[in-house]
Amino acid sequence: MISSFRKNRGLGLMELLIGVSVGMMVTYFVMNIMVTSNRSANQSNSAAQSQETGRFILHWLTKEIHRAGYTPNEQEGRTTPMAPLCGGAAMPPAAGAACSFESTDLSDRLALRRLYRGATTPRDAQDCTGVNLALADDTPLVDVYWIEPNFAGAGADDNFNDVFRCVTYNENTGTVVAPAQTLAVGVENMQILYGERDATGRRYVSADQVNNWNNVHAVKLSILTRSFADQAQRAQQRSFVLLDATPLTFNDTIARQIQLTTVFLTNED
């Protein structure tokens, strides 16, 4: 009986090199997919953060602007919906800062007027943040909304310390009726135009160009918000233009969003 044996040979050098090369290529593509996916998720999350902040602020302000000019007595005409332009340099919540502020380099300030009434809906007897008040009926109130950069209360190491705040003033005394509160963080700029009716029609102007605050029928808002993540996108120079403001230019990796809305006043004569 004759037996035949087959000689087994291992992998050759060329085969090993090909196998290693294919393995490295597969590993590279898998890692590249993972890095790209992680970067995309980070960018999407950062964009969502800034968008949600902007949406929250605009939703809040829309409801509050609808109350501007409110008077409890339906037989009376509305009160002037906005406080006049600031005549001094006082910043909220300091006394004497219940006024509209206009700037093309800094953020604008929104100052909404209304009358207090304790026996109507609960919101009419609260400050801008929902704190219950105890005042005489028909006391004129001014709800002031502004952006405070480098707010100390956010913490020394907090990169998101540009905050959106509000406080309510008693217009008769010029002082606040409750402590100021922070409504949102990561808000870098707010610009405002006012829709005014005059003899020539309707126009949107800055606060310093309003001829008669009683003729204001709408408010146009533009908000610039930022993400909570510093490394949200590739570093490059980006510019943002909000209404009549000077362009804001940044050179970093932070995701930012501009959101714009127009709110028509409901308390009109």
- Among all chains, which residue has been given the structure tokens 């509000």? 166
Cβ neighbours of residue 212 under 8 Å, at least 6 residues apart? 196, 198
CA distance 141 to 251: 41
CA distance 128 to 150: 22
- Give the pLDDT of residue 199: 72
199-244 pLDDT tens trace: 777 899 999 999 999 999 999 999 999 988 776 567 789 999 999 9
- Give the pLDDT of residue 207: 97
CA distance 249 to 23: 45
101-146 pLDDT tens trace: 999 889 999 999 999 988 778 888 999 999 999 999 999 999 999 9
Give 156-181 as a 3 state SS string.
CCCCCCCEEEEEEEECCCCEECCCCE
- Give the pLDDT of residue 54: 93
pLDDT at 154 over 50: no
- Give the pLDDT of residue 77: 77
